[in-house]
Amino acid sequence: MSAATKHTASPKVDLDATRDRLLRLGLEFAAEHLEAQISATVKEPVAPHRFLDSVLDEEIERREERRIRTALRTSGLPSGMTLSTFDFAFQPSIERGRIETLGTCSWIREHHTLLLQGPPGVGKTHLAVALGRKAIENGFSVVFFRLDELLAALKRDADVPPARLRRRRYNNVALVIVDEVGFEPMSRLEASLFFRLVSYRYGRGSLLITTNKGIRDWPEILAGDEVLATAILDRLLHRSHVLNIKGRSYRLRDLERAMEAQS
C-alpha cells in the first residue's frame, strides 16, 4: 500500500471511531457533521482550536434550535404571531419600547404578572403569543391556554393530590399565558380553582393574562364574588405590569377601509 492510500484510508477508520465517541457523549449533531467539518478544514485549514470550536458551536446551535422547536410545540402557542409581524404604527397606544423591554423577559425572571387589557381586535392575543415566543427563545418554559381550556384542565384536576398537582404544567412552567379572561363569567367552582392557581404561582412563576375587562369588572368575571376578586387581584397586581391598549380593532381594519372606499 502506498503512502498516499494509507493516508486516505486511515482517517476513514478514525472518523468512525471519533463519530462513535461523539455519539457516546450525546453530541449527535457534531457526530453527524464531523465529516463535513473535516472536509472544510482540509480545503481551508484552520487552527486546531478553531476546528474544535466550530464543531462544538454547531452542536450548541443545533441543540438550541431543537429546544426552541420542541418548546414551541409543547407550549400550545399559536403560530404566526411574532413581535416582528406586529404593526406598532397601527396601534399607537402601545409603546414599542415597552414591549421590547418586556421582550427581554426580566419580568419573567422576577415572577411578575403581565396584564394586557383592551377591547377586541387590538392585538392582545398577538402580543401575548409574541412575548411567549420571546420567553421560549430566552430559555423559559411556557404554556398557553385560552381561559376555557385552562378551566377545563383545572376542573379535571380538582381532586388531584397537591404533590402531583405541583407537577402540572400550569403550575410548574416559568410562564403561563391565559388568553381571553372576561368573555364568559366563571362559576363559583371555576373562580375558586382559578384563585388556587393564582395563589400557587404567586412568587413562584409568571402569569400573562389578556382580558377585555377593566380591573373594576373583575368581581363580575369571578362569579360576583368581591372577596375572591380582591384576593386574586391582590396577588396578580402586587408585582405586575398593566398595559391598557386603546384603539381600533385590527380585525375591522379591512372593513373600515372598504367602507371608506364606498363613501
Task: Give contact residues for ligand ADP (rule: CB under 6 A).
Answer: 81, 86-87, 90-91, 118, 120-126, 210, 250-251
Nearer of residues 188 and 251 to ligand ADP, judged by Cβ: 251
- Report the nearest approach of Mg ion to the CB of residue 88 (Å): 18
Which of ligand ADP, Mg ion, none does 235 bind, CB closer than 5 to 8 A by kind?
none
Grid cell, residue 114, equals: 403581565
Tell me how far, at minimum, the Cβ of 23 lies from ligand ADP, in Å.
43
Partner from ligand ADP, Mg ion, none contacting 81, C-beta within 5 to 8 A by type: ligand ADP
Q: Which does 186 bind (CB under 5 to 8 A by kind): Mg ion, ligand ADP, none?
A: none
In the chain, the amino acid numbered 12 is K
What string of H, E and C letters represents the secondary structure of the chain? CCHHHHHHHHHHHHHHHHHHHHHHCCCHHHHHHHHHHHHHHHHCCCCHHHHHHHHHHHHHHHHHHHHHHHHHHHHCCCCCCCHHHCCCCCCCCCCHHHHHHHCCCHHHHCCCEEEEECCCCCCHHHHHHHHHHHHHHCCCCEEEEEHHHHHHHHHHCCCCCHHHHCCCHHHHCCEEEEEEECCCCCCHHHHHHHHHHHHHHCCCCEEEEEECCCHHHHHHHCCCCHHHHHHHHHHHHHCEEEEECCCCCCCCHHHHHHHHHHC
91 vs 113, which CB is nearer to ligand ADP? Answer: 91
> What's the closest the beta carbon of residue 212 comes to ligand ADP, in angstroms?
7
- Which CB, 121 or 185, lies closer to ligand ADP? 121
Minimum CB separation of residue 257 from ligand ADP in Å reads 14
Q: Provide the residue type at 13 as one letter.
A: V
Least separation, in Å, of the C-beta of 94 and ligand ADP? 8
In this complex, which beta carbon is closest to ligand ADP, that of residue 110 or of residue 254? Answer: 254
CB of 15 vs ligand ADP, minimal distance in Å: 49
Residues near Mg ion, by CB under 5 A: 125
- Closest residue to Mg ion, judged by C-beta, is 125
Q: What sign has the CA pseudo-torsion 117, 120, 124, 125?
A: positive
For 172, residues 6+ apart whose C-beta sits below 8 A from its C-beta are 141, 166, 205
Q: Cβ closer to ligand ADP: 30 or 143? A: 143
Residue 112's binding partner, choosing from Mg ion, ligand ADP, none, with beta-carbon cut-off 5 to 8 A by kind?
A: none
Judged by beta carbon, residue 80 or residue 162, the one nearer ligand ADP is 80
Among ligand ADP, Mg ion, none, the one that 250 touches (CB under a kind-dependent 5 to 8 A) is: ligand ADP
